[in-house]
Structure 1
Amino acid sequence: MESFVVKRNACSHHEIFPGVHIYTAAGEAMMLSLVEFDPGAVVESHSHPHEQVGLLLEGELTFTIGDHQETVQPGDMWRIPGGVVHSAVAGDQPVKALDVFHPIREDYL
C-alpha cells in the first residue's frame, strides 16, 4: 500500500544555496517543500519554468520578484509565475517557509 504520510526524515533533502535547506515531498502533479534558512542566508537570483506559491511560517524574508522587493512576515504568502527572476534574503533569525511547485521540480526529488 502507498504511504500517504511522508516523515521529514524520509523527504528528499538538498542544500540549494549555502544555509538554505529544502525537504520535499511530491504527488503526481505538484510538490511541497519545507525550506529552512540560516540567519542571513541568501537564495540567489534565479528563475525556473515552474509556478511557485509559498507561505512564511517563521522569521522574516526579503524577496525580490521581478523588479518588486518586499519583506514578508509569518503568515504572508507569495506567488511567483514560471520564468520570473526572483531571490530571497533571510533576516537575522532562522526562517521556515513552505513552497508549492507545479509542475514537479525533478531537481528537488
Structure 2
Amino acid sequence: MSDYFISPSERVRHNIFPGVDIFTAAGEQLMLSYVVFEPGAVVEEHSHPHEQMGLLLEGEMIFIIGGERRTLQPGDMWRIPGGVPHSAIACDNKVVALDVFHPVREDYR
C-alpha cells in the first residue's frame, strides 16, 4: 500500500442504484468516484450537501440538474452545487464517468 497511489483493489465499491456501481478513493478533503452504468441504468433524483463535478468518459447519458436536462457525450463536464437535485440515465450503451466530491462523502468511504 502506498500513500500516493491507489490500486484497483484499494478502491471502495458501492452499488448505488440497480446497474450503477461506483469505485471511490478519498483524500482528506475530496473524493474521486469512478462510476459505471449498465445500459439504461438510472440514478434516481437526489441531492446531497457535497459539491460535485464530473466528466463523462464513455457512452452517452441524459443528466438532469436543477430541472435542466442535457444529453451528454464523452468529454462533457458538469458541476452540481450542494443541495441541488439531480438524476442521470444511461442511454443504450455502457456509461463511464468520473465524479469529484467536496467534502468527502462519508457514506461512500
The answer to whether the superposition gives a TM-score over 0.5 is yes
Pairs within 5 Å for 1:1-109: 2-109=2-109
- CA drift of 1:3 comes to 2.3
Q: Percent identity?
A: 65
TM-score for both structures, normalised by structure 1: 0.97
- TM superposition score normalised by structure 2: 0.97
Unpaired runs of at least 5, structure 2:
none
The number of equivalent residue pairs is 109
RMSD: 1.0
Q: Deviations over 1:17-65 (max 9, x none)?
A: 0000000001100010000000000000000000000000000110110
**In structure 2, distance between residues paired with 1:62 and 1:3:** 36
Of 3-12 and 29-38, more deviation after overlay is shown by 3-12
Which letter does structure 1 place at the counterpart of 2:41? A
**Structure 1: where are the runs of 5+ without partners?**
none
